[in-house]
Structure 1
Amino acid sequence: MAAVTDRLIIDSHHHLWDLAVRPQPWITGEALAPLARSFSAADLAPEAGAAGVVGTVAVQTVCLPEETPELLALAAGSDLVAGVVGWTDLTAPDVRDAIAALRGQPGGNRLVGIRHQVQEEPDPEWLLRADVRRGLLAVAEAGLAYDLVVQPHQLPAATLAAAGLTGLTFVLDHLGKPPIATGALEPWAADLRRLAALPNTVCKFSGLVTEAAPGTWRTQDLKPYADTVLDAFGPRRLLFGSDWPVCTLEAGYGEVVRIADHLTEGLSPAEKRALFHRNAIRVYRLEETEQAAGTALMPGAGAREAAPAGGGG
């Protein structure tokens, strides 16, 4: 079977930040010290290109209104960044207007999703609040996806939220951050399967190396979690993501791609093409963002193959 690096890859999850513009308050302590510098699209491009990545989705890091317009403007001038998962205050009374305003920004056609740092919310049922639900409805009405960045104990609330909003695609980031470092599977696996049972949910095949035991993990430690998510969601509801530059705490960009390739070695070529390429285009409607910009998503033969049938199934 050909390696995934022989194909065109869409990276559905990475970050960019400039510490000269604003701090990243979450970067604290010795363990995160290597991230305490700026990471630009110029830094990303050679890493991604060497790994066979031809399109990416930049994802928000801070819950501030200024960040998303900056990411959109960056995407507008980039040949690599095809989409942006941004932030807006879901609880604001004018959330619909706020989303419309983002779409009116330079590069606003590249807004493909919204995310909030739910993992930092002390209320495990934050996603079930009435004001949050109203915001999620606005995201759905705008035709955007909603990225879920949650801790394992927040998966039950995420499942209830997704079950109550069938018109919105929920994208689970980083497998719901399973406790790989401890080797425990439950209750994470059971809760993940309940979320995966909903047809309007998909999951990013990302973030595994940073949930493993720092400095001592091996690829085989990741396998039970990769196998669980492959079984729960199936290859046509999984999206490859690098989680660069956070992944660099444990593995370089190319290594993350190779690890994902190894963990999915049992898939057919068509299934790998879905996981590493087509699913991100379908879920985030990246073809639409590129058509609106008047550009091609990817060069080369086969770049515009149709997404697999069955929607989110």
Structure 2
Amino acid sequence: MIIDAHQHLWTAGYPWLRDPSLARIRRDYTVDDLRAAIGAAGVDRTVLVEAGRCDAAETRLFLRTARDTPEIAGVVGWAGLLDPDLAATIDGYRAGPGGELLVGIRDQVQGEADDFLDRAPVRAGLATVAEAGLVNELVVRAAQLPSVARAAAALPQSTFVLDHLGKPGIAAGELRHWHDLIAPVAARPNVIAKLSGLVTEANWESWTPDDLKPYVDIAVGLFGTGRLMFGSDWPVLELAATYPEVKDAMTGLLGGSPADVFAGTAISTYHLELT
């Protein structure tokens, strides 16, 4: 069993895809496309993550899609951490078709100020997600990592999942700076990290696995494989690579397919029920 803990679906009309640099992924990505991609890479199940549309309708659609798609084992939906009715929003997701497949909530924190996660109303939103028994999924910039560490310390009852290792500046060679920022995050036992999205933080045209290696090695050293998950970040990865290239790069860097990184951590973190 191999689980991809981070993939998306979207249509060409998503506003963020208007960026000219994203032209090669500005198209509809469907369940059929997903099946072809994971089939080529030998992946069995996935976790579908909100794709930046930032509305409840997307999450409801994704839950219905997951209900009808056996390959999708869980959904990380979108909700605003400052939503005064956040608990009701979560309850509404769960009451709808596929609601039992909701495993986490992600807001687009990367678009906020560096101290966003330090703010009391945001912390209250994080606590609401945790009280609902869901993972707090975090997509952040490297500069926001100190606030991730502080939030994890303040909310030890919450499980946090850090996407894309906090987006290190691989193309710019910012290894030492990123190490200093992520080490306090890894010191919090309630933070799990995804080995995902790294090829698009590297040079899209010229990256090699060697470019990713020091970041993966540091992540393994800080988190251990028991707190790491493989994620493809498909179809974003198509800016720089193919799905099999990303999976093969990760297995090469890890010396194989560790059962925790490629399945066990995702199952336990998201409480996935697999058949």
Give the alignment's TM-score, normalised by structure 2.
0.97
3-state DSSP of counterpart to 1:187:
helix
Deviations 1:157-181, CA, capped at 9 Å, x for gaps: 1110111000111000001000100
State how far apart, in whole Å, the 2-side matches of 1:70 and 1:168 are.
Answer: 26
The alignment status of 1:218 with 2:208, answered yes or no, reads: yes
For residue 244 of structure 1, the aligned residue among 222, 234, 254 is 234
State how far apart, in whole Å, the 1-side matches of 2:205 and 2:45 are.
Answer: 30
Code of the residue aligned with 1:40 in structure 2: it is T
Deviations 1:58-101, CA, capped at 9 Å, x for gaps: 00022112110000000000010110000112212211111111
The alignment status of 1:116 with 2:107, answered yes or no, reads: yes
How much identity, in percent, do the aligned residues show?
47
1:49 positional shift: 1.9
Code of the residue aligned with 1:240 in structure 2: it is F
Code of the residue aligned with 1:212 in structure 2: it is A
Give the alignment's TM-score, normalised by structure 1.
0.85
Partner of 1:304: none
Partner of 2:37: 47
- In structure 1, the gaps of 5 or more residues are 1-7, 291-295, 297-313
Partner of 2:19: 29
Aligned pair count? 274
State how far apart, in whole Å, the 2-side matches of 1:64 and 1:30 are.
Answer: 23
The alignment status of 1:102 with 2:93, answered yes or no, reads: yes
Code of the residue aligned with 2:32 in structure 1: it is A
Deviations 1:256-280, CA, capped at 9 Å, x for gaps: 1100101101x7x6xx011011110
3-state DSSP of counterpart to 2:18:
coil
The alignment status of 1:177 with 2:177, answered yes or no, reads: no
Code of the residue aligned with 1:274 in structure 2: it is D
State how far apart, in whole Å, the 2-side matches of 1:166 and 1:284 are.
Answer: 17
Runs of 4+ in 1 over 4 A off after TM superposition: none
Partner of 1:15: 8
State how far apart, in whole Å, the 1-side matches of 2:89 and 2:206 are.
Answer: 44
Partner of 2:138: 148
Code of the residue aligned with 1:275 in structure 2: it is V
Partner of 1:160: 150
- Structure with bigger gyration radius: 1
The structure where helix makes up a greater share of residues is: 2
State how far apart, in whole Å, the 2-side matches of 1:264 and 1:174 are.
Answer: 16
State how far apart, in whole Å, the 1-side matches of 2:158 and 2:19 are.
Answer: 37
Partner of 1:308: none
1:24 positional shift: 1.5
